[in-house]
Structure 1
Amino acid sequence: MTDSIRLFDSHCHIDFSHFDDDRDAMFERMAAVGVEGCVVVGVDFGHIDSLRELAQARDNVWFSVGIHPNHEVEVEPTIEQLCELADHPRCVAIGETGMDFFRHHVDPDIQENRFRTHIRAAKMLNKPVIVHNRDADEASIQILRDEQISKCGGIMHCFSADMATADAAIELGMHISFSGNVTFKRNEELREVAANVPAELLLVETDSPYLAPMPFRGKRNEPAFVKQVAECIAEVRGRPLSELAAQTTANTRRIFNISN
């Protein structure tokens, strides 16, 4: 592991089949650049076993339980189901959940009810909520406000909205997490948001295997590439990478209640 840099990938999907051929080597590459841990995020109930197995096999992996807003299911999750599935010592969050108006695989009313169910389960468990928001800023913020998200806290994952949306989420006590898209050349406005999020609420992630940062754009993403995300944000904030990495790692451990 790199001595001077401590990074944490706050959101990835390394249980996916994209990593079946080189998962062990992927963990080695993580360690080589100073990534000391990652949260593997649930998108449906079918992956629960693989998430648990991965977290139990590795002392630097934690996981979450949830159904993605655009994942089609025959029966909607209940608060009781979410609480039961999240009853594991290495489950640190509920989600990802939220609202997505970019793709319409799931009706917005169903997405909203699902989102509220996840938040209510999270409050019962006192675990943070991992929020997916795409082209649904107003709806997402309103639901977070209605459901009193501050009682359990949460993360606006792979943030891609404007500063007004960030400010609204911050006012509710939400953390803001940035992924590889913050490095894309056209995303100057997003980098401006990253420059202004309060340091104590800032996280970095990969969302791997998706959204690989520059200069890997178009390739499969992986947790080691969170370093490029951190480098970009450190530059726009005018801070050393080691400082930015230490801050975001401390923030990740705090919001997810990860002590070891």
Structure 2
Amino acid sequence: MKTTYKEAPYLIDSHCHLSREEYGSDLEAVMERAASCGLRRLLVVGADIPSSRSACQVAEAHRADGVFAAVGVHPHSASSVACSSEEVRLPEELLALADAPRVVAIGETGLDYHYDHSPREVQRSSFREHIRWARRVGKPLVIHGRESYADLLSILRDEEGYGMPAVVHCFSGTEEDAEAFLSMGFFLSFAGPLTFRKNEALRQLFRALPGDRILLETDAPYLAPHPLRGRRNEPSFIGAIYSVAAEVRGTTVEALARQIRENAARLFLWPLDDEEGSVHDRPVIHD
């Protein structure tokens, strides 16, 4: 029997990319499937200026579906905002998007040393600028890291990132990496790889984490969970991730969903219920 919107647990997709062209022809159908599986909050994340602008538009168009946005420049695109071979200055066009009514976070930003689509020094400069921007506007940081956790942590410490609201999305690091990020007060978010058969070490790590510091995400259209690997990922696939996550932690999907609902609201300051309302504000830090 198909699960209806009212019967399903209250699920969160804390990181997806619905503003990408992969959803250009069927976004409405994607949103309908998301609602039918119980998704009540989705964070649509920008990766450059055009996709950040589109994320704001998707969030505004789907207010009733609980969609919010994050704006920023992915490390792959850091060169697009570089003003020299080593320095980044975020353009006003991007900075202004932080004031859009559905924007609750800055990112995704960080370091990707696997592909190195942008020079590493440019990535590091961009990451620093995003940290400072997030602090100025009082919004949490969405962090991307691949083969770069040591440098991420070094920069965060240098930028006095302890205690700032942040999430490391699609976490895939070691127990030591997790402990380092948790010691800074960050959340760790897990995606489809948590369900992959060969990722038992990641599941063991996830099992041991404090429940009030975890989030779940699809990272759609990437990283579809088992048994849907190879397909275009979409938010409605989040149920497969919740199922594995609950089993790993020895709890029910309903109990895990309640915990993650509270965690996401604490991080992103969006309403806990389905009532439309303004997002709560954090203090803004002026330079």
**How would you bin the TM-score normalised by the shorter chain?**
over 0.9
Residue 74 of structure 1 and its aligned partner are, at CA, apart by 5.3
8 Å contact 1:82–1:118 — kept in the other structure? Answer: no
Residue 77 of structure 1 and its aligned partner are, at CA, apart by 3.7
Residue 80 of structure 1 and its aligned partner are, at CA, apart by 5.5
Match of 1:253 in 2: 265
Match of 2:55 in 1: 51
CA RMSD of aligned residues (A): 1.5
Alignment partner of 1:150: what SS? coil
Q: Write the mapping of 1:98-247 to structure 2, written as runs, cut at 5 A.
A: 98-247=110-259
Identity among equivalent pairs (%)? 39
2:27 pairs with 1:23: yes
Task: Give the distance between the partners of 1:151 and 1:117, measured in 2 at CA.
Answer: 17
> Which amino acid letter does the alignment assign opposite residue 51 of structure 1?
A
Residue 240 of structure 1 and its aligned partner are, at CA, apart by 0.6
Match of 1:73 in 2: 80
> Which amino acid letter does the alignment assign opposite residue 177 of structure 1?
S
Residue 215 of structure 1 and its aligned partner are, at CA, apart by 0.7
> Which amino acid letter does the alignment assign opposite residue 149 of structure 2?
D
8 Å contact 2:46–2:53 — kept in the other structure? Answer: no
- For normalisation by structure 1, the TM-score amounts to 0.96
Match of 2:36 in 1: 32
Task: Give the distance between the partners of 1:158 and 1:164, measured in 2 at CA.
Answer: 16
Task: Give the distance between the partners of 1:251 and 1:159, measured in 2 at CA.
Answer: 16
Alignment partner of 1:145: what SS? helix
Instruction: Give the structure with higher Rg (CA).
Output: 2
Residue 81 of structure 1 and its aligned partner are, at CA, apart by 5.4
Distance 1:30 1:153, change over 3 A: same
8 Å contact 1:126–1:152 — kept in the other structure? Answer: no
8 Å contact 1:79–1:117 — kept in the other structure? Answer: no
- For normalisation by structure 2, the TM-score amounts to 0.87
Which of 49, 66, 69 is residue 63 of structure 1 equivalent to? 69
Distance 1:57 1:35, change over 3 A: same
Residue 104 of structure 1 and its aligned partner are, at CA, apart by 1.2
Alignment partner of 1:73: what SS? helix
Match of 2:102 in 1: 90
What's the CA shift string for 1:138-174, capped at 9, x where partnerless? Answer: 1111112222223531000000111110110000000
Structure 2 alignment gaps of length 5 or more: 83-87, 276-287
Count of matched residue positions in the alignment of Structure 1 and Structure 2: 260
